[in-house]
Amino acid sequence: MHIQYILEIVGTGLFAVSGSLAANEKSKPDWFGVTFIGFITSIGGGSLRDILLGAYPLTWVKDVNFLYAVFIGILLASIFYSSFLKLRKSFFIFETLGIAMFTIIGCEKAMSYGVNPLIAAIMGMFSAVMGGVLRDVLTNEIPVIFKKEIYATACLAGAFLYLLLDYLNVERNINILLAMSLIFVIRVIAVKYNISLPKFRKEADIASS
């Protein structure tokens, strides 16, 4: 079994845990509600990517192991709910690794369909963040990509680095490691030091308009 496949399955499960925790914190739904939000968080980004690329059947439809990973993640979130809440910082690390991995996986899949590299980078970003966007919308939260945090931008930076190194014929595993590391480092530094992109319009400009 390829290591990338194992990591993708594990990442799917981790996103299911993340979605389940967010669902329970914000809206206190029943088991069906938590399962639905956990499912959307896990497969939402990849499904949107596949739909836009015309890649059918969707990944989770073709391979039932992804569904098993979602259900196991939701079950673990229920059993170890209190422990996961206490380990939020550690879970942030795993989630950041997850978005880094899914960015590159999404980028690679898009490239295999022969799309323009710019589109491939966007598809990689969609793979990583759109599940979280759908989760936030369903739990009545402002999606992270609309807040000050550097989130989707980190994914795009990693995707562009991956595409550049691929163009330069850098060995694939080294390329993946470097691109994922860039996403991880940008995200961690941005959160630790509260770094954000400039606002579209400054408050002073808004007040004077």
Domain for residue 206, yes or no? no
Average pLDDT over residues 170-180: 93
Tell me the Ramachandran region of residue 139: left when phi exceeds 0, alpha when psi lies from -120 to 50, beta otherwise: alpha
Model pTM score: 0.86
| Contacts of 175 by beta carbon, 8 Å cutoff, 6+ apart | 162, 165, 166
Number of domains in the chain: 1
Domain for residue 154, yes or no? yes
Domain for residue 207, yes or no? no
- Give me the pLDDT at residue 139, please: 85
Tell me the per-residue pLDDT of 71-85, one tens digit each, with 9 for 90 and over: 999 999 889 888 887
Sorting pLDDT into bands at 50, 70 and 90, what band is 144?
Answer: confident
- Which comes out higher in pLDDT, residue 192 or 204? 192
Tell me the per-residue pLDDT of 39-73, one tens digit each, with 9 for 90 and over: 999 999 999 999 999 999 999 999 999 999 999 99
Domain for residue 62, yes or no? yes
- Give me the pLDDT at residue 204, please: 54
Domain for residue 30, yes or no? yes
Can you tell me the distance from the alpha carbon of 141 to that of 135, in angstroms, rounded to the nearest whole number?
8
Domain for residue 158, yes or no? yes
Average pLDDT over residues 121-139: 92
Cβ density class 122-150: b for 16+ within 10 Å, e for less: bbbbbbbbbbbbbbbebbebebbbeeebb
For residue 63, what are the domain limits? 3-196
Domain for residue 204, yes or no? no
Can you tell me the distance from the alpha carbon of 47 to that of 61, in angstroms, rounded to the nearest whole number?
10
Domain for residue 52, yes or no? yes
- Give me the pLDDT at residue 203, please: 58
Average pLDDT over residues 188-194: 89
